[in-house]
Structure 1
Amino acid sequence: MNLKGRPLRLPLWPLPLVYVGVSIVCAFVLPRLERTYLADVHLGIAVSSAQAMLSAIASGMIALTGFVFALAFVMVQFSAVAYSPRLVAWLSRDPTTFHSLGIFNATFVYAIAALAWVDRDGSGEVPAFSMLLVTVLLLLSIIAFARLVQRINDIQIANVLAFIGREGRETLRTMFQRLDASGAAAADSWKRAAEEMSRRPVTQTLHYPDEPFTVARFEIGTLVRLAREADAVIVIECAVGDTLVENTVLMRVYGGTRPLDETRLRRTLHLARERTFEQDPKYPLRLLVDIAIKALSPAINDPTTAVQALDQIEDLLRRLGRRVLDAGCVHDEQGVLRLVFPTPSWEDYLTLAFDEIRQYGSGSVQVMRRLRAALFGLADALTEAERKATVLRYIEHLNLVVEHSVLDAEDQTIALQQDPQGLGLTRRETERRGPRAA
């Protein structure tokens, strides 16, 4: 397992304040320096024209800021209702929004400051450098506005699904080794971990004392170091994505030459109000399934969106099928087990990815055909016999669901065909009913 993970993202809300702070400092310093050292530089602009230009820019930026961000938040809210409420966190943390707000406000602040230096003390002078700087800021604001419009356009369903799939693939890449690169010892890592813990007594148990929060990530490297220093094994009882409530068991320490600092141990568990992609390979699947089942609801009735979500789900599962999923056992540099934490099994991933879509989409020929193609494609791509057998059982279950659905006999025959497009090209040569005919 990759112990480094991805770095935490810094909060974005201070960004506009930084822009405004820099513009205020520049507003106090630059016009004074300009009057001292660039007094002889002129643009040939009349005082009245400069005042009108700066006034128009200042007033226009405030109006533009209000209009743009009202539109952006309406689009975010609409997309959250149409796709999934859990996507609001991603959309609201887009850096483009915060940089745009900062540039708009910086342009407004400096335009006001430059306006104060036009015809200063009745001199009849127009600050050339400040006028040029306001013009540059205005151009940057136009670029930021165009970029923001493009980001709003990215809320289209295809772009949202592609983003979730991309984040999911990055999580898999950083968390799991490939089966062909892991060696034979990885398959029985959990068995060896259980044997190691059975030889050590439980010396410490940590409980959660606070209000409900979600586990966002573990500091795996720090936990391994703490366990190595005390010659202990730390077992985390909560998984990434779990919501902790009062008195939940956080972790247990097995063995050790001395007690571990409980404050330091608690600090290695990072909590958040919502789940994140980091160290949580189930979260992208959860979002994709949310979008699919919402599209299948009677209020929306959009099975094509569910089919598009299944495209990304199948890709993630194919990658998971080639990875070592026993990633919750971490050893130190000497190969001694130091950390154990819960991770989902292959069947857990299949249940999350397919069960709800199968239940809510059982009356849709399009969804059943795409789901069937995904399962057969997944079975053909897997190399591990146990995982392939689990997928074949899912295919058999899908057959039963179609046979007991509201579809008539003719529609059932169509639904039992494979079609990666849902309703596109029928793969007649691969019309297999299930594992018995495979």
Structure 2
Amino acid sequence: MPVWLIPMIYSVTSLLGAVLLPRLEHALMPGLDLGVSPSAALAILSGISSGMMALTGIVFSVAFVMLQFSAISYSPRFAARFARDPILYHALGIFFATFTYALAATAWTDRDGSAKVLALSALLAVGLLFVSMIVFALLMRRLGDLQVTETLRYIGDRGREVIRASLAASAAGTQAAAGHGTDAPVTQVLRHDGPPRYVERYDVPALVALARRAGGAIEMDCAVGDMVLDGTLMLQVRGSGASLPEAELRRAVRLGADRTFEQDPKYPLRLLVDVAIKALSPAINDPTTAVQALDQIEDLLRRLARHPLAAGIATDGEGVPRLRFPVPSWSDYLALAFDEIRVFGATSVQVLRRMRAALAGLEEVLGTDPRAAEVRRYMRHMDATIARSAFDEEDRDAARREDPQGLGLTR
């Protein structure tokens, strides 16, 4: 459900309650009275309704500050986390509901000059006010998530989830790649038709079923995270069956206005690198934040290093490969994780020492794995960067030391 519908649901529900509850109370419990003068009740209900409008304005201001802070301090791509946060929209919905219900309840106070105050309706309005105060306090607490440590931990957790999901299917894909192949001719191609969009995810079961119906396999030409433009080749169908319905093929590849964490282990690395290089910009000059980002980056790479990377193949129930899609290699991950930080952090001894510690840790985890050679090659590249730097010899020697804290304990 779109998050913008949440406040609408709260408002409609409160209006229905404001219409039905006072009528039921007036008809079924005519003798129930709160014992408060109508003028006092009207003042309370009017104060609640007018005060909730001011509180709603404050919430919008808080939301704007959250978005601006996350976009400026971290990454514009990370600001979407707060723009789509359901807690924010539930808070707005509760505020709207309190306002609309209190406003409608005033119509039943001293109705027709009866000098009566409906007890349940008035108490419900006051109860909604207390709930609104609690929600507002929780929303203020949500601001704690803007701290850099919490932000980096959140991105790292999402990265660990998607890596765990991708590694779960990598073993089966590797076995299928080793044992099967297809040279069937291309019978159908699908190109993007529309405005630029990002590939958010594949519906793997649907694509596998379609490929099986075609008697062959589907080869994806666009990877998760790619932007497809008008006319971009999205996939090719290889098989001997009839052409597949184009609408079903398009539904199986979900496109969107932005990248997501689903099926994309590169995206959390991209966000962490964004935070690190923004911290290393001359305007901010905060290498310690870059070091904290490298802590999360190293953990994600260690998890990738302990397992074979996904082969980019999905099979059907009989183990026949039906779907092939592009996946990043180990060198792609290394370049994404370190290249930009190495360039922007070339003048920071702290960042260079932390990167060397991360590379040394990856080499130790890989052991005899052939991917360890790529880590050693990248470390030689780092040494060459340090050798070309403007450091004096003592600073170059310090930058070549491995230090998990950046500037803490040399190893």
TM-score (norm 2): 0.97
Deviation at 1:190, TM superposition (A): 4.2
Distance 1:134 1:102, change over 3 A: same
2:159 aligned with 1:168, yes or no? yes
The more displaced of 37-46 and 394-403 is 37-46
CA distance in 2, matches of 1:186, 1:235: 14
The more displaced of 269-278 and 66-75 is 66-75
Deviation at 1:31, TM superposition (A): 0.4
Structure 2 counterpart of 1:121: 112
Structural mapping, 1:404-423, within 5 Å: 404-423=388-407
Structural mapping, 1:12-411, within 5 Å: 12-177=3-168, 182=171, 187=174, 189-190=176-177, 192=179, 196-198=181-183, 200-383=184-367, 385-411=369-395
CA contact (8 A) 1:236 1:340 kept: yes
Letter in 2 for 1:367: V
CA contact (8 A) 1:186 1:324 kept: no
SS in 1 for 2:146: coil
| Cα deviation code 1:328-360 (max 9, x no counterpart) | 101101011111111111110111000110111
CA distance in 2, matches of 1:190, 1:388: 23
CA distance in 1, matches of 2:410, 2:302: 22
Letter in 1 for 2:342: R
Alpha-carbon RMSD across the aligned residues, in angstroms, is 1.5
Deviation at 1:72, TM superposition (A): 2.1
Letter in 2 for 1:213: R
Letter in 1 for 2:96: N
Deviation at 1:383, TM superposition (A): 4.5
CA distance in 2, matches of 1:13, 1:352: 34
SS in 1 for 2:78: helix
Distance 1:190 1:405, change over 3 A: farther
Deviation at 1:105, TM superposition (A): 0.4
Q: How many residues align?
A: 411
Identity across the alignment (%)? 53
TM-score (norm 1): 0.91
CA distance in 1, matches of 2:261, 2:39: 55
Deviation at 1:96, TM superposition (A): 0.8
| Cα deviation code 1:398-437 (max 9, x no counterpart) | 111111112111111111111111111122xxxxxxxxxx
CA contact (8 A) 2:26 2:118 kept: yes
SS in 1 for 2:235: strand
SS in 2 for 1:250: strand
CA distance in 2, matches of 1:384, 1:104: 60
CA contact (8 A) 1:96 1:147 kept: no
CA distance in 1, matches of 2:137, 2:253: 40
SS in 2 for 1:12: coil
CA contact (8 A) 1:176 1:327 kept: no
Deviation at 1:177, TM superposition (A): 2.7
CA contact (8 A) 1:233 1:256 kept: no
Deviation at 1:320, TM superposition (A): 1.0
CA contact (8 A) 2:270 2:337 kept: yes
SS in 2 for 1:85: coil
Deviating 4+ runs (over 6 angstroms): none
CA distance in 1, matches of 2:340, 2:179: 35
Letter in 1 for 2:203: E
Letter in 2 for 1:402: I
CA contact (8 A) 2:66 2:82 kept: no
Letter in 2 for 1:130: S
Letter in 1 for 2:261: F
SS in 2 for 1:205: strand
CA distance in 1, matches of 2:240, 2:249: 14
SS in 1 for 2:187: strand
The more displaced of 102-111 and 396-405 is 396-405
Distance 1:142 1:384, change over 3 A: farther
CA contact (8 A) 2:200 2:255 kept: yes
The more displaced of 43-52 and 362-371 is 43-52
CA distance in 2, matches of 1:45, 1:188: 77
Letter in 1 for 2:97: A
Letter in 2 for 1:165: G
CA distance in 1, matches of 2:124, 2:80: 35
CA contact (8 A) 1:372 1:418 kept: yes
CA contact (8 A) 1:331 1:339 kept: yes
Letter in 2 for 1:323: H
Letter in 2 for 1:237: D
CA distance in 1, matches of 2:109, 2:173: 73
| Cα deviation code 1:113-153 (max 9, x no counterpart) | 11111101111111100111112211111111011111122
